[in-house]
Amino acid sequence: MKRTQISKFWKDASGFEGQTVDVAGWVRSARDMKEFAFITLNDGSCFNDLQVVAERGELSNYTEIANAHVGSALRVSGIIHLTPERPQPFELKADTIEIVGDVASDYPIQKKHATREFLREHQHLRPRTNLFRAVFRIRSRAAYAVHSYFQDLGFLYVTTPIITTSDAEGAGEMFRVTTLDLENVPKTDSHVDWSKDFFQAPASLTVSGQLQGENFAMAFGDIYTFGPTFRAENSNTRRHAAEFWMIEPEMAFCDLQGNMEVAEGLLKSVINYILDHCDQELSMLNRFVDKGLTERLRHVASSDFARVTYTEAIEILEEAAAQGHAFEYPISWGIDLQTEHERYLTEEHFKRPTFVTDYPKDIKAFYMKANPDGKTVAAVDCLVPGVGEILGGSLREDNFEILEKRIVELGMNPEDYKAYLDLRKYGSCEHAGFGVGFERLVMYLTGIDNIRDVLPHPRTVGSAEF
């Protein structure tokens, strides 16, 4: 039996008038009016419920249906009637209703229970709430918009490995992948004998698909990856997850300006798509989560992003501090920007998304292209109000000798990066790319301020449930 999604009726109920349809969903409420009962049913296809009318005279299981528990799963067959004189424009008059899955008596239905923290621990309930339905529909649409943007620009979608033997960011925040018996690790001279491991080498979950992405950019020109990445960062913040998705385009024959144009275009294109396709979800979030959401998204979609160098940003922050703005972390050239600094720049100074470029080389990854000043690299971060860093990227060091020297300088082993270095030996060219944290993007699109609440099943320090 093929069920009809409830959203179809809300799009065009008159097209179904008088027709027999099969629907299925979960009970929101059941009201017994003695001779007939109203069941409101939701199937997740849209916010709106379907009102089902059950008549005592028509249904042999009327008593059971009229007392159906909130949350139980029903299948209903019946006829759609338009009801323009009533608050809801149509209803389904049931011929048959079957309870296919009842709920246990400990089902938590009280409103006071519905905090986001409580819902994280009750996964069966979480995606059935209006809030999470709005968030995850926007997440789904945003993923589609990302693919559309790059496909329309002629980028190749390449999937990069999840298991890897190189640390793409050189930050050592990787989860190990092994089949060795951890109770009895094979050793030679008190060192782990990796030749006995599955890959005969230490392997980890990837922190970024960039290095393999560059490999394909050197053949296809413009590529992007969009997949899961993993970081064992021990930071329990609202913006860090241990498992998150990243969108990483990489462009051959492209400079830092070109990189920023693609990044700005991507963010605006996804925002516009969501504004055009998620009206109901945005209104709901705008009402209950973030009152300025829709206005902010419209503003961003139509304004130019600000652009400053790191050195200029430090000057702006020093000036603000001199004027009496209290920052917890002291400001001086060379520091890594803290969230409070990022937020000041984008929320108070520029009041729009801001690209910060040319960071000190010591706080950025090994692969970023050295600037002629010898102190900075051609890096770019984009900061947005409410979220802080939404994407980070750079021009890549495309000179073999300079890159090899940098790898050695940082105490890394050039042998581990041989394939990456080879790209600089055989037809190297100026190239650039960036990585957008997909959850940070969804936070920005929804106004949700905790990364856990835009992840279907969040994994963070100390928590990997379900």
Which run of H or E residues covers position 245?
strand 243-252
Question: Which of residues 284 and 390 has its CB atom nearest to ligand 4AD in the complex?
Answer: 390
Smallest gap, in angstroms, from Cβ of residue 440 to ligand 4AD? 4
Question: Which of residues 169 and 281 has its CB atom nearest to Mg ion in the complex?
Answer: 169
Smallest gap, in angstroms, from Cβ of residue 413 to ligand 4AD? 19
Q: Rounded to a whole number, what is the largest CA-CA distance in the chain?
A: 86
Which run of H or E residues covers position 271?
helix 256-277
How do strand 187-188 and strand 156-157 relate by DSSP bridges?
Answer: unpaired
DSSP state of 102: -
State residue 73 phi and psi, 5-degree precision: -95, 130
How do strand 36-42 and strand 50-55 relate by DSSP bridges?
Answer: antiparallel
Smallest gap, in angstroms, from Cβ of residue 17 to ligand 4AD? 48
**Among all chains, which residue has been given the structure tokens 């856990």?**
452
Which run of H or E residues covers position 357?
strand 354-360
Smallest gap, in angstroms, from Cβ of residue 452 to ligand 4AD? 11
447 binds, among ligand 4AD, Mg ion, none (CB under 5 to 8 A by kind): none
Question: Which of residues 19 and 159 has its CB atom nearest to ligand 4AD in the complex?
Answer: 159
- With contacts defined by CB under 6 A, name the span among 106-114, 316-324, 330-338, 388-396 that binds ligand 4AD: 388-396
Question: Which of residues 132 and 434 has its CB atom nearest to ligand 4AD in the complex?
Answer: 434
**Given candidates 43, 91, 167, 169, which one binds ligand 4AD under the rule CB under 6 A?**
169
Q: Confirm or reject binding of residue 437 to Mg ion (CB under 5 A).
A: no
Smallest gap, in angstroms, from Cβ of residue 328 to ligand 4AD? 21
Smallest gap, in angstroms, from Cβ of residue 101 to Mg ion? 45
State residue 80 phi and psi, 5-degree precision: -80, 125
The tokens of 208 are what? 């970024």
Smallest gap, in angstroms, from Cβ of residue 305 to ligand 4AD? 15
User: Which ranges constitute the DSSP H helices of 289-384?
Assistant: 293-302, 310-322, 339-343
Residue among 58, 50, 431, 327 at smallest CA distance from 319: 327
167 binds, among Mg ion, ligand 4AD, none (CB under 5 to 8 A by kind): none
What is the CB-side half-sphere exposure of residue 48 using CA atoms within 13 A?
17
- Order the strands of the 243-252 sheet from edge to edge: 156-157, 222-230, 243-252, 431-437, 388-395, 376-384, 354-360, 306-309
- With contacts defined by CB under 6 A, name the span among 66-74, 97-105, 243-251, 296-304 that binds ligand 4AD: 243-251
Question: According to CB under 5 A, which residues from 380 to 399 bind Mg ion?
Answer: 392
Question: Which of residues 4 and 394 has its CB atom nearest to Mg ion in the complex?
Answer: 394
Question: Which of residues 46 and 247 has its CB atom nearest to ligand 4AD in the complex?
Answer: 247
The tokens of 402 are what? 């300079």
State residue 168 phi and psi, 5-degree precision: -65, -25
Question: Which of residues 392 and 433 has its CB atom nearest to Mg ion in the complex?
Answer: 392
- With contacts defined by CB under 6 A, name the span among 26-34, 154-162, 233-241, 275-283 that binds ligand 4AD: 233-241
- Residue 402 to residues 54, 81, 365, 426, 429, Cα–Cα distance (Å): 76, 73, 14, 15, 14
> What is the rounded CA–CA span in Å between residue 137 and residue 265?
22
170 binds, among ligand 4AD, Mg ion, none (CB under 5 to 8 A by kind): none
**Given candidates 40, 51, 210, 354, which one binds ligand 4AD under the rule CB under 6 A?**
210
Question: Which of residues 91 and 381 has its CB atom nearest to ligand 4AD in the complex?
Answer: 381
- With contacts defined by CB under 6 A, name the span among 28-36, 101-109, 240-248, 341-349 that binds ligand 4AD: 240-248
Number of residues that bind Mg ion (CB under 5 A): 1
* Residues, the chain: 466
Question: According to CB under 6 A, which residues from 389 to 448 bind ligand 4AD?
Answer: 389-394, 433-435, 437, 439-440
Sign (positive or negative) of CA dihedral 74, 79, 84, 85: negative
> What is the rounded CA–CA span in Å between residue 197 and residue 107?
46
Number of residues that bind ligand 4AD (CB under 6 A): 24
- Residue 301 to residues 83, 121, 136, 261, 453, Cα–Cα distance (Å): 40, 36, 22, 14, 24
Q: What are the residues binding Mg ion (CB under 5 A)?
A: 392
Q: What are the residues binding ligand 4AD (CB under 6 A)?
A: 168-169, 208, 210, 231, 233, 240-241, 244, 246, 248, 389-394, 433-435, 437, 439-440, 451
